Structure 1
Amino acid sequence: MTAVAGARGGLKAHQDSIRLSDAELVRDLRDVLGSKLVAYIGSVKETRAVRQWADGERRPSAEVMTRLRHAYHVAALLAERDSRVVVQAWFQGMNPQLDDVPPARLLREGQVEDAAQAILAAARAFTAAG
């Protein structure tokens, strides 16, 4: 996942979140977040499903794919400045900008568009803070 900062930061992350095929996106997201966290966001119990999505053997539902595309956008934005470990911790940790709800949980359980906007705003604030 190699993203370059745009004028507002994250332009390539946004473009890739739209342009990548489902399998490519899941593979890249898995490389940054790990299979367990992708499975959690995708609401599946086994990482085998994530492997099958990444290999193109199986497709997630449209709603799950929307959640994964939003997760990718945010992960790629964060990965522009921080390591994989930091990105994983950010997704799993309590976030004061999200009422102390971990971003991964909000993406999994929240209304997808509202959750995505809130998480993206929190990620932008995190990267701006340095």
Structure 2
Amino acid sequence: MTEVAGIRGGLKAHQDSVRLPDGELVRGLRDILGVKLVAYIGSVKETRAVRQWADGERKPSAEVMTRLRHAYHVAALLAERDSRSVVQAWFQGMNPQLDDVPPARMLREGQLEDAAQSVLTAARAFTAAG
């Protein structure tokens, strides 16, 4: 039964990452990760840009929005089991499953599809380990 609940939880995180409008997704990601980490993943230096994305005053590029959607999927998945501070630490810390690269850095700098898949796999392993 626990495995089914975990799958459903992962499914909700995925569905939200695909279905949420851009601004709502950015607000949700900002609520989980904080504005500085979202700005980092989104490759912007000013946190003001994140607020503008969240408020619909400005649109990130399609590539940045895709990176943010992948980040939201992972963050929402982790947030179902852990606190914001744990999720934030997980995104920023060295990860042995990612060759000690922090997940946020991998999502920001990596080849998008490969990085997203690797980070999601690492997040699933983290949640499975309890």
Bucket of the pairwise TM-score, normalised by the shorter protein:
over 0.9
**Equivalent in the alignment of 2:67:** 67
- Matched position secondary structure for 1:58: coil
**CA contact 1:6–1:12 (8 Å) conserved in 2:** no
Segments of structure 2 that go 5 or more residues without pairing to the other structure are none
Alpha-carbon distance in structure 1 between the residues aligned to 2:118 and 2:6: 20
Q: 1 or 2, which has the higher helix percentage? A: 2
**Equivalent in the alignment of 2:56:** 56
Segments of structure 1 that go 5 or more residues without pairing to the other structure are none
Alpha-carbon distance in structure 1 between the residues aligned to 2:125 and 2:74: 12
Runs of 4+ in 1 over 2 A off after TM superposition: 5-9
Deviations 1:55-102 (A, max 9, x none): 000000000000000000000000010000000000000000000000
Say whether 1:14 aligns with 2:30. Answer: no
**Where in structure 2 are the equivalents of 1:1-130 lying within 5 Å?**
5=5, 7=7, 9-130=9-130
Aligned residues: 126
Alpha-carbon distance in structure 2 between the residues aligned to 1:25 and 1:82: 19
**For residue 105 of structure 1, what is the amino acid of its counterpart?**
R
Alpha-carbon distance in structure 2 between the residues aligned to 1:27 and 1:76: 12
- Tell me the percent identity: 89
